[in-house]
Structure 1
Amino acid sequence: MLRTFVITMMLFSLSPSQAADNGSGLEAGMVNPGFHEKPSWFKNSFLDLGDDVDEAAEEGKRIILYFHQDGCPYCAKLLNENFTIKKIVDKTRAGFQLIGINMWGDRSVTGIDGSETTEKALAESLNVKYTPTLLFLDEQGRPVLRLNGYYPPHKFEQALDYVARHQEKRQSYRDYLKAHQPVAASGKLHRQADYLQPPLDLRASARRGERPLLVLMEMKQCPPCDELHQDILKRPELSKTLQEFDVAVVDVWSSEQLITPVGKTVESTKWAEQLGIQYTPSMVLFDSKGEEIFRSEAYLRSFHTHAILDYVLSGSYLKQANFQRYVQARAADMRARGESVDLME
């Protein structure tokens, strides 16, 4: 059976209200250092989502549900970077009402269908594994687009434009992204000499044995892909760990034929579509049987990129299904050894 574990890009910590509820020892009124203040223009919602959708539609807007948690560096990055860029703020406020949902929260929520639930139960029912996760809803409360994890400003702006302009009625998000690449990039795929080379045969029998397979889903016009290869993967410790993997770079828009890990021959772009890839670079990892075991689909710096590789290479995903708890333990071990831990390095 396919077991897919999805990256959660943060260390877990409790909000002030959660701390009180769960007996963590924080007194009422104490400041939680992991709390990230949301902009004042976020909607002050009573969390009756049906009413929120109707109110937004009356103003010609749509709803964005922003799933977050305290201690999440990528939530802070979204709030402190994306939402400090005037153009992005103006577009967001003009086209949307944005509602914050704590993925571990206990506040009461009334769903689109009128059912009663809680923030954390809603997050679980929607399979929210990343923070931030942003769910864009149309005028009937139906999901139009979902962003799993942090998107840098130019990518985030594209998502806003796509939904605000109702482009889902005309084309898929993948096709929209293909036509809109506002940031200059290197214009090349970063296939290193020691990576698997085309024509790609990703079956274990065609590779170098029982090593895990890392597939980097990329495209030529991709500034974050450039950063991944020109900076992050070149760092000595990461480069050393990467040598324990078979690595393949797949162009998500190429018609190149490849053989998938389970032995199916397909065009690269069709395989990317089948996998649901909508962000580049995405990292998809497979075991020796060709089963997907892990993926990340958002902007990552060195710490979390290395954590993904360690999580798979060590086999920890078989013992600890919750990646965020693995990250927490890994960071604690590093600190105990006197190593520096910077989640955004």
Structure 2
Amino acid sequence: MARQLRVVATPTIVFLAPDTGPVLQLTGYRDARAVRHALEYVHGRHYRSQAFTEYLATREMPAVYEFRDHPQFAVATYFKGYRKPLAILFEDRHCTACARFQERTLHHPDVIAEMKRFLFVRLDADSDRPVVDPAGNMTTPAQWAKTLGLTYRPALVLFDEGREIFRIDGQLYHFHFKEALRYVSGGHHRRYPNISAYNAARREELLQQGIDIDYTE
């Protein structure tokens, strides 16, 4: 069933409607507000008239987050022709999970080590300033996030050789987050059919080396 529903990572929640089948898929952990929005979207059958991203844009969400700097953040707005590993992080001022994500995940030593292998750029998902995406399209962070169909903040999209390889559109704790980075920067996406296959092999590799795997935050 996971293959049929195109589930590539866990945890994943798939919402099914009796008349249309899958109407919403959420990958990764979500905070209470995000889960409530998803439940209201499906229960109210808003999927019949609008995408989840459009529905979220109509919700009242107060500003709760002040953008924070990070030593690995680069300033860049032109990505056409960039062939090396590229990480685009989308945050906004309404993000209830961004502060904790910065403190617990982005500043974890193992994550920082993997971030160094990317051009790692943080964008304000509400911004209208011009950027050029890897395909050469002139856009804005707000429009780019909408075009990508991102439904959560923070959201991370990982590119290699100019194409999207993997995205994190939900909460991941530090181990899975840094392994997602390694999956792309190490070129493991060329060897494994998906990140689930990579994670299984990587888990076995670490355990054989006697390394404890910490799945906690």
Aligned residue type for 2:175: F
Asked whether the equivalents of residues 189 and 249 of structure 1 are also in contact (C-alpha less than 8 Å), the reply is: no
SS at match of 2:75: coil
Of residues 249-258 and 173-182 in structure 1, the stretch that sits farther from structure 2 once superposed is 173-182
Map of 2:80 onto structure 1? 203
Aligned residue type for 1:274: T
Rg: which structure is higher? 1
User: How far apart are residue 165 of structure 1 and its match?
Assistant: 2.5
Confirm whether residue 320 of structure 1 aligns to residue 192 of structure 2: yes
Q: CA deviation digits over 1:121-174, x for unaligned, max 9? A: xx4333222334333344523543222333232211111112222334565422
- The TM-score normalised by the length of structure 1 is 0.56
Distance 2:28 2:105 in 1: 18
Map of 2:208 onto structure 1? 336
Distance 2:60 2:110 in 1: 32
SS at match of 2:126: coil
Distance 1:211 1:190 in 2: 25
Is there any run of 5+ residues in structure 2 with no aligned partner, and where? none
Number of equivalent positions? 217
Match of 2:14 among 135, 144, 152: 135
Map of 1:83 onto structure 2? none
Map of 1:164 onto structure 2? 43
Query: What is the RMSD of the two structures over their aligned residues, measured on CA atoms?
Result: 2.5
Distance 1:136 1:181 in 2: 23
Distance 2:150 2:216 in 1: 24
Distance 2:195 2:150 in 1: 20
Asked whether the equivalents of residues 217 and 282 of structure 1 are also in contact (C-alpha less than 8 Å), the reply is: yes
Distance 2:63 2:93 in 1: 10
Which protein, 1 or 2, shows the higher relative CO under an 8 Å CA cutoff with sep ≥ 6?
2
Quickly say closer, same or farther: Cα 1:201–1:328, change in 2 above 3 A. Answer: same
User: How far apart are residue 341 of structure 1 and its match?
Assistant: 0.7
Identity %: 29
Map of 1:89 onto structure 2? none
Asked whether the equivalents of residues 211 and 244 of structure 1 are also in contact (C-alpha less than 8 Å), the reply is: no
Map of 1:79 onto structure 2? none
Q: CA deviation digits over 1:253-306, x for unaligned, max 9? A: 22121010122111222211221111222221111x311112222210001001
Map of 1:93 onto structure 2? none
Aligned residue type for 2:192: Q
Asked whether the equivalents of residues 162 and 173 of structure 1 are also in contact (C-alpha less than 8 Å), the reply is: yes
